[in-house]
């Protein structure tokens, strides 16, 4: 996500029409994540913001683990030639559950490589996450039957991934246009299901994962 100094000062991302993340908003989101999640919490952000997320997560009582990365092989080049292009996004990761943290991927590295322009991309949201990326994250950090909360739902890719993988989903989105898009996509995904769906391995708990993109904030809700 590109942010000019002018747009940050004004509190709005002029390029994407998103509210710029503020210190208070970041702290509030981290506090809710630590309170609501009984498992993992992760965020998408630029590398420069990882330390800010680590600080507020630890202050909220979460156990910061490390920052993973999403590598974008088809990312936009730096056309002015003044510096390297931004070919990845960071994903600060924290454990909010009781006891020792655990995940499903063993000794796997925290490097996720996915094209931004997938064949199944919906395309109605500028920062839409790839569905294969969200499915891989769900497989690594959650189990079938878990409830996933995305407070910055956008066009609903996290919800679509949940529908395809047997997870329950709660999404929050401020923009009515994107909220409607998300509802349409998620309802369609739940109605279709997934022929390779895993069966639940444990009882449902409140908010087993809290996944968020720091590009926007929100108040409307959809739950499935």
Percent of the chain at pLDDT above 90?
62
Which range, of 126-130, 135-139, 179-183, averages the lowest pLDDT? 126-130
List C-alpha distances in Å: 68 to 64, 109, 111, 162, 163.
12, 8, 6, 21, 24
Q: What was the pLDDT predicted at 123?
A: 64
Percent of the chain at pLDDT above 70?
76
List C-alpha distances in Å: 84 to 45, 67, 75, 96.
18, 21, 11, 35
Q: What was the pLDDT predicted at 197?
A: 52
pLDDT-based confidence at 109, cuts 50/70/90?
very high
What are the structure tokens assigned to 132, written together? 């294969």
Q: What was the pLDDT predicted at 217?
A: 38
Determine whether domain 12-223 maps to CATH 3.40.50.150. yes
Q: Do the bridges between strand 147-150 and strand 209-213 make them parallel or antiparallel, or are there none, so unpaired?
A: parallel
The four Cα atoms 188, 193, 198, 201 give a dihedral, to 10 degrees, of 60
**Contact between residue 180 and residue 200 where contact means Cβ atoms under 8 Å apart:** no
Domain boundaries, the chain: 12-223
Question: Residue 87 class from Cβ within 10 Å (0-12 exposed, 13-18 middle, 19+ buried)?
Answer: middle
pLDDT-based confidence at 99, cuts 50/70/90?
very high
| 156 vs 109: CA distance, rounded Å | 26
| 12 vs 89: CA distance, rounded Å | 20
The four Cα atoms 91, 97, 102, 108 give a dihedral, to 10 degrees, of 0
Q: Looking up tokens 């420069």, which residue turns up? A: 48
* Segment 158-209, tens digit of pLDDT: 999 999 999 999 999 999 999 999 999 999 998 886 645 555 455 445 567 6
* Segment 26-38, tens digit of pLDDT: 999 999 999 999 9
Q: What is the mean pLDDT of residues 205-222?
A: 52
Which range, of 81-90, 92-101, 151-160, 198-207, averages the lowest pLDDT? 198-207
**Contact between residue 185 and residue 150 where contact means Cβ atoms under 8 Å apart:** no
Q: Looking up tokens 């989903």, which residue turns up? A: 169
Q: Is the pLDDT of residue 135 over 90?
A: yes
SS3 of residue 190 by DSSP: helix
DSSP code at position 152: S
């Amino acid at each position: 996500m590109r942010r000019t100094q002018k747009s940050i000062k004004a509190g709005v991302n002029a390029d994407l029409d998103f509210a710029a993340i503020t210190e208070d908003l970041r702290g509030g989101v981290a506090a809710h994540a630590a309170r609501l999640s009984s498992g993992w919490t992760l965020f998408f952000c630029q590398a420069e913001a990882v330390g800010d997320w680590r600080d507020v997560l630890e202050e909220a009582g979460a156990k910061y683990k490390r920052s993973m990365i999403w590598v974008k092989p088809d990312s936009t080049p730096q056309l002015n030639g003044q510096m390297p292009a931004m070919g990845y996004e960071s994903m600060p990761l924290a454990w909010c559950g009781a006891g020792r943290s655990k995940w499903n991927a063993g000794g796997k590295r925290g490097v996720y490589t996915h094209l931004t322009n997938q064949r199944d991309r919906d395309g109605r949201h500028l920062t839409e996450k790839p569905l294969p990326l969200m499915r891989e994250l769900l497989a690594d950090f959650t189990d079938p039957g878990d409830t996933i909360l995305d407070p910055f739902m956008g066009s609903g890719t996290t919800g679509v991934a949940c529908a395809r993988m047997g997870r329950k989903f709660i999404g929050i989105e401020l923009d009515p246009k994107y909220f409607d898009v998300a509802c349409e996509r998620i309802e369609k995904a739940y109605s279709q299901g997934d022929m390779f769906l895993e069966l639940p391995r444990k009882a449902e708990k409140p908010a087993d994962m809290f996944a968020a993109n720091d590009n926007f904030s929100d108040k409307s809700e959809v739950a499935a």
